Amino acid sequence: MSTAIKPRHIGRNISRIRELRDMKQEALAIALGVSQQSISNLEGSESVDDEKLTRIAEALGVTPEAIKNFFEDAVFNIIGNTYNDDSSSIKNYNCTFNPLDKLLETFEENKKLYQQLIQAEKEKVALLEKLLDKK
């Protein structure tokens, strides 16, 4: 009985990360400048050379170490432990204020600014009339 640790299947890890990123083989192939068939062959291989792995990792938006050490059960454990489906209660995470109140505040502020503008124009007219009367 062998106690040697079986190496991770790098091609399968690439495939799963690509799928989790909602990326098709064709999109990865375009990003790497290869054919879709070569991506399919790559995902079937147990090992990938480091240079190619670095290019693939960059295209997938992860590190080469993330691909090498990818463990699917860990991903699902993280999701299972952090996702909370509390659909019984309605929560509003977007708005911490009443939008109608903000709209009314804006109208009031615009009204004050408009009154100030009218007052400034009246003062200009009065000054111009005063200057005309002096002539």
pLDDT in tens, 8-21: 788 888 988 898 88
Domain extent listing, the chain: 10-82, 98-135
Q: Give Cα 73 to chain centroid, integer Å.
A: 24
Tokens of 90: 């309605």
Query: Which amino acid is residue 89, in one-letter code?
Result: S
* Spatial distance between the Cα atoms of 102 and 106, rounded to a whole number of angstroms: 6
Tokens of 80: 């299972």
Which stretch, 26-30, 31-35, 92-96, 116-120, has highest mean pLDDT?
A: 116-120
The topology (CATH level 3) of 10-82 is 434 Repressor (Amino-terminal Domain) (1.10.260)
- Nearest Cα neighbor of 74 from 28, 8, 25 is 8
* Spatial distance between the Cα atoms of 38 and 48, rounded to a whole number of angstroms: 12
Cα distances from 12 to residues 63, 68, 81, 99, 105, in angstroms, run 16, 10, 24, 49, 57
pLDDT in tens, 15-66: 888 988 888 999 999 999 999 999 999 889 888 888 999 999 999 888 888 8
More confident residue, 67 or 109: 109
